[in-house]
Chains A and B, each alone.
Chain A
Amino acid sequence: MSKRKSKENCLTHGECISQAQRMLRERFCHQKIPGKPFGVESQHKHLLELLKRTAVHGESNSVLIVGPRGAGKTMLLNCVLNELLEVKHVQENVLQVQLNGLLQTDDRIALKEITRQLHLENVVGDKVFGSFAENLAFLLEALKKGDRSSSRPVLFILDEFDLFAHHKNQTLLYNLFDVSQSAQTPVAVIGLTCRLDVLELLEKRVKSRFSHRQIHLLSSFRFKQYLEIFKMQLSLPEDFTDRRFAEEWNQNIKSLYEDRSVEDVLQKHFCSSKDFRSLHMLLMLALSRVTVSHPAIKPTDLLEVSRLCTMDSKANILHGLSVLELCLIIAMKHLNDIYDGEPFNFQMVHNEFQKFIQRKSHSVHNFEKPVVIKAFEHLHQLELIKPMEGPSVRTQKEYQLVKLLLDNSQIMDALQKYPQCPTDVKQWAASAFG
């Protein structure tokens, strides 16, 4: 009786699973910001204080957040901004401009975007009018008119900051930093970049105007913390609709966390990269294996997923090749060995292949040359070989110099796994000379 009642209260099992999956996927895809960033408390505090001063005191600042990819730079910034905007009078006062070096590839586009995001007067609808020069002057004028005490502070967030440094003359950066160093509208210029040498990119006068505050996010955590993160990321929150499901789920995650094999998998992952994104990718794959019939993540899932993640892409391609193509690869391998990595052309490969055919004519069918060329071209399309010259150089196909993009070890591994590989071919591959 009680069981039935509880069932009525709760969602069905399938619904629970799909809801949990949605929630966790949101988390893994960075759509939802975690409440508090992990392991970067001091940086968080530094940035928060800095932005607060801009927002509250109208002090202009500039700062760079530097860290390797996936270290949580954007997450940190978003956390800080969230926290900052919770304060009511800050939210009312602060203007934000978000730019990305990959989108705003030059200053003209960046200026238009800034003008648009600031809702300045030369914006009609979503269009920004005026020439580049006009826009620049207009924006500078706008910023210049403001002063510390009365204007709204503007937060300029420059994602992929290093790309802005490649803009002509670094005009945008110069002007933003210049505003931040002069008594104009208070601005905070926040740059996000993964390049440690970003300051060397700045021109000397731009550099001089930059305040040289850098917040380094270098993911200095240990494996233990990594495990914690793993657990935290997979756990469902307390306020999940179906509490019982959540409890079960979390219990399962806890057992995973304590599992030896899971730890090994994670250890390997941790060794290869501390990047949160790669962890998220792993978890995402594991999560997608969860179905109604398979309602929880098992250690085997993680093992399987980890194998998928660390699979060698080229070895996979090799498994799909025909025997002829494989033979050509082996011929190339021998050429590489003979000529010590020097480039070769189709004719050389063909000769090598012919030699093999003549020795072991019974094992492999003697293909016509056009067929061999076709196979060679297919390898080219798969990017297992790469021509030395660009496509503009017109040489006869047979004599075009190419290089093999496979390591010997990869070839040997692939041959081991290749289904029904003729033994002669295997032997040929293993032999020292063609």
Chain B
Amino acid sequence: MSRYFTRLKKRRVYSWIGRPSFIDRKLKHVFYEGLCIKTDGNANTGCIRPGHYILIEGDEDRSYVAKLLKLYDDGTGTRSSKHAEVQWFVRFHEVPQNKRKQLGRDPHPNEVFLYEIPNCDSDIDAETIITTVQVQHLEEDSPFPAAQSQENPLYVKLSWDGKSFSPVNLDLLLQSGGKPVLPASSHTDSLPKPDLEVSRGLAVDSPSRPTQSARKQHSSTSKYSQSKELSDRQPSNVIFTPAARKKLQLSNSVKPPGSKLTRDDVLAELLDEDRAVSSLEAEVTRRRAVASKPSSSPSKKPRDLCIRLSPIRGGQITQDHQLANRIQIGPRLQPEELVKRTLKRESGAESTEGETPSKRKDSIKKDASLDILIEDGGEAGGPVVTMTPRSRRKSAQVSSARIRQQLNYLNRNQSTDFDVDDDEEDVFLPTKKDLRSSSEEEEESESESESVTGRRGSRSAVPRTPRSSRKAPSRTPAKTPNKTPRRTPSKTPVPRTPRTPRHATPSIPSRTQPTRKPGNVLEEARARLHVSSVPESLPCREQEFQDIFNFVESKVMDGTGGCMYISGVPGTGKTATVHEVIRCLHHAAEQDELPSFCFIEINGMKMTEPHQAYVQILQMLTGQKATAEHAAALLEKRFSTPAPKRETTVLLVDELDLLWTRKQNVMYNLFDWPTRRQAKLVVLAIANTMDLPERIMINRVASRLGLTRMSFQPYSYKQLQQIITSRLNRVRAFEDDALQLVSRKVAALSGDARRCLDICRRATEICEFSSQRSGSGLVAMSHVMEALDEMFSSPYITAIRCASVQEQIFLKAVIAEFRRLGLEEATFQQVFRQHLALCRVEGLSSVCMSEGLATCLRLGACRLLLLESSHRDLHLRVRLNVSQDDVLYALKEG
């Protein structure tokens, strides 16, 4: 079992390494150079430093992959005060399913994608970091290396920007998503191009490289550690530099030393030019001193650069470039500019800041920048750096403009070169990894086995990637919220009941013969008028639709959460409108106009008790099964822990009032989760009464529900008419008057669209029956009248008319007794006396008490009378359930 699967059992202890290196006074953030993870019951400790690739605790035992950019303490002193900034990677299963096909090939189990969604939350709790992991960059076309027995690194080929896959832009690979966490000099990175021989060589041995390089690193450890010790003693925290440099050498000894050093030199030069920054210069020089191979004199460099640039100026760039196997210059231009600008900014800032704090800041910034420089394969930085000073020189400005022109031109024309370029980059990228691993070699050497096993574990459990954990594997993109069978196995056993057989998929057996299709106009109309038939659009709810749509859309766009309360009497299209909104939003998400989101629906009526809501939500979100308590805990954890890559969840809670409990904790949680920053939960709550929040909710629940409310008014007759017409959709089955009658009648009674449709459907049936005898085939007024009568007429009067003589007399006796008493209630004994008297008047043979009671109970059974339970016998109290007038009216006619 890999380490991080068992992490729930083993507590990890996190501690900072090194002194706080930089303090952001405003935010009270204290930055650190590393994080030490110690696992209980294991003597090994692992150290994680910015630049490492890490596994982060995800949901349900699945981990996320990211690259650590920065470590800091937010100074609150609480347990979770340790923070980290990361660049995320996604696994294939975290990509929304509807976008997966865009990859166009099967993903490698260990493949990850650079996550390039601009404003995702890259700030995580550092204590969720599990361990380090190896990530290798592969060129897009290159095959994945065969799995190795000991350790399988993860591979990056493409990046994922939420909409499509694209080749990894090293720029983004190396900078944090969105927030420029690191000093901008990191931008230089995209350029480092190795000499071809180097990259070739690397490409050749790349499959076996990890182990080899590791060995190499081991061999050089002693040397490295010396330099590290040295640097540790330095106050300037230049820890990574020496290691990285050394690594450069190790990984490509062919590399001319000059190009490697240029960067520092150039930096130094740049800083020199900014005269105010003497302290920084000192630091840089110090660092240079630390470096294993001291530089050649900086003064030489500019010339060097000029020489290199000359072929470009000469206008034979393409040829030269290709022939010399130099890396394409086109894409370099921009980063170069960036570097220039940012360096300027940096130096400017330095100049203004005070001595001690700024120095600290500077140093850490520089560290980080250097770190990055190194990471991306610093030795290749030659061309970039060479160009930087050039553009800064006044003399070169004219020519630089020309170059830019040229480069732009090339950029446009040489897409092929681009590819080559990319490939080279890809091929070369692994060195960066080596660099990284070498730099952390010492710390990691003990815990290496640990991380390796961890990595292997992550690979063996591919389907358990964090993102996929949120959706059950079988789910279709989100259009239909996953309702995978309840029988899916769960990790949390429910002890009380015997489990149902696993994997039983519930289904109603399918029929042997197909259903018959509607044969005539009336049948067609009936099919269309059935409430279940989904209309193409929902007429008459445009405003409500728009409001809900805007609400959900804005929340999904912003990645925030919120609640909305929707009320309305039954049959006014609340649920249908929400579903319509979701359908549209899904469509928009498919069209990439919107970040994808996941829609789940629960219904208070469709669960046995309110706490089942947790179980159902959890199951739909993750496919997990759990008891209500456990599910509540899991959901609480899920919605309170940050997970930047999580897509927004839209939760529809239908029949909200049934989720009421005495303590109202279900409602409370449902409305509290959306207020969490990380939850990204949008709750749409539906109930019938407008004042539900005020009526049944305690203040803290009502307050969380907020005031985003909407009420659906009952349909007016015009709207009902429109609904029927739109459903019928040019199937001519109704006379206009008939439609109007139905809609007016229903609007006057309830405004329930379901009722309206049901009446219409019944009217078509009546029409069909009658048209067998005669008729036009159109549903006319008479048919509708009949249907209305059937549905709305009270059965009481007919029932009384159809009752037996004794029953009728008994009813009369009840009324007589009521009149005598002046009350609306009498005992059976009293009524029965009246009954006997009436029988005599009517000339009927008298009945005995038993029969009389039987008659009374019969009337009670069909609720013409309201009776007490019959064991009271003679003293049974009798009341009428119909008005006396109705009874008399019915009996008079009969």
Contacts and interface: CB of A to CB of B under 8 A. Distances in A.
A93 B858 contact: no
Interface string B840-870: 0000110111110011001001111000000
A207 B501 CA distance: 36
A129 B531 CA distance: 34
Size bracket, chain A contacts: 35 or more
Contacts of B615: 133
Interface of A: 45-46, 49, 56-60, 66-69, 89, 92-93, 95, 107-108, 118, 120-122, 124, 129-134, 136-146, 148-154, 169, 171, 174-175, 178, 180-185, 194-197, 204-205, 207-209, 211-214, 216, 218-220, 268, 270-275, 310-315, 383, 386, 403, 405-407, 409-410
B796 A174 contact: no
Contacts of B848: 310-312, 315
18 contacts: A57-B527, A68-B858, A92-B511, A95-B508, A121-B501, A133-B607, A136-B607, A137-B606, A137-B607, A145-B507, A146-B508, A174-B606, A194-B861, A212-B755, A310-B847, A403-B875, A405-B875, A406-B874
B497 A129 contact: yes
A410 B873 CA distance: 14
B483 A57 contact: no
B569 interface: yes
Contacts of B314: none
A131 B847 CA distance: 53
B719 interface: no
A204 B534 contact: no
A52 B511 CA distance: 15
B300 interface: no
Given A143-B508, A180-B532, 16 more contacts: A57-B523, A59-B530, A68-B799, A69-B858, A69-B861, A133-B615, A136-B608, A150-B511, A151-B510, A169-B605, A196-B795, A272-B854, A273-B854, A311-B850, A312-B850, A409-B849
A194 B762 CA distance: 23
B137 to A, nearest CB: 44
Size bracket, chain B contacts: 35 or more
B605 A120 contact: no
Nearest to A343: B875
Contacts of A59: 526-527, 530
B874 A405 contact: yes
Nearest to A148: B515
Nearest to A58: B515
B805 interface: yes
Interface string B820-855: 000000000100110010000000110111110011
A162 B571 CA distance: 23
A138 B849 contact: no
A95 B693 CA distance: 43
Closest A-B pairs by Cβ, 6 of them? A208-B570, A142-B506, A121-B504, A312-B848, A218-B802, A122-B500
A66 B854 contact: no
B605 A205 contact: yes
A92 B512 contact: yes
A183 to B, nearest CB: 4
Contacts of A56: 515-516
B508 A152 contact: yes
Contact of B531 (A149, A181, A214): A181
B849 A68 contact: no
B688 interface: yes
B218 interface: no
Contacts of A386: 872-873, 875
B799 A196 contact: yes
Contact of B606 (A60, A108, A121, A136): A136
A407 B874 contact: yes
B494 interface: yes
A205 B686 CA distance: 12
B103 interface: no
A57 B570 contact: no
Given A148-B515, A182-B531, A129 B802 contact: no
B617 to A, nearest CB: 12
Contacts of A138: 485-487, 500, 506
Contacts of A383: 873
Contacts of B688: 204-205
B511 A216 contact: no
A126 B432 CA distance: 65
A181 B510 CA distance: 20
B413 interface: no
A144 B500 contact: no
A151 B612 contact: no
Given A95-B508, A183-B533, A315-B848, A149 B802 contact: no
A43 B1 CA distance: 69
Interface string B117-148: 00000000000000000000000000000000
A229 B606 CA distance: 47
A405 B873 contact: yes
A151 B511 contact: yes
B85 interface: no
Contacts of B791: 212-214
Given A129-B499, A141-B506, A208 B754 contact: yes
Nearest to A92: B512
B804 A270 contact: yes
Interface string B614-646: 011000000000000000000000000000000
B874 A181 contact: no
B546 interface: no
Contacts of B607: 133, 136-137
B486 A141 contact: yes
Given A93-B512, A133-B609, A314-B849, A218 B507 contact: no
B511 A131 contact: no
B513 to A, nearest CB: 5
Contacts of B500: 121-122, 129-130, 134, 138
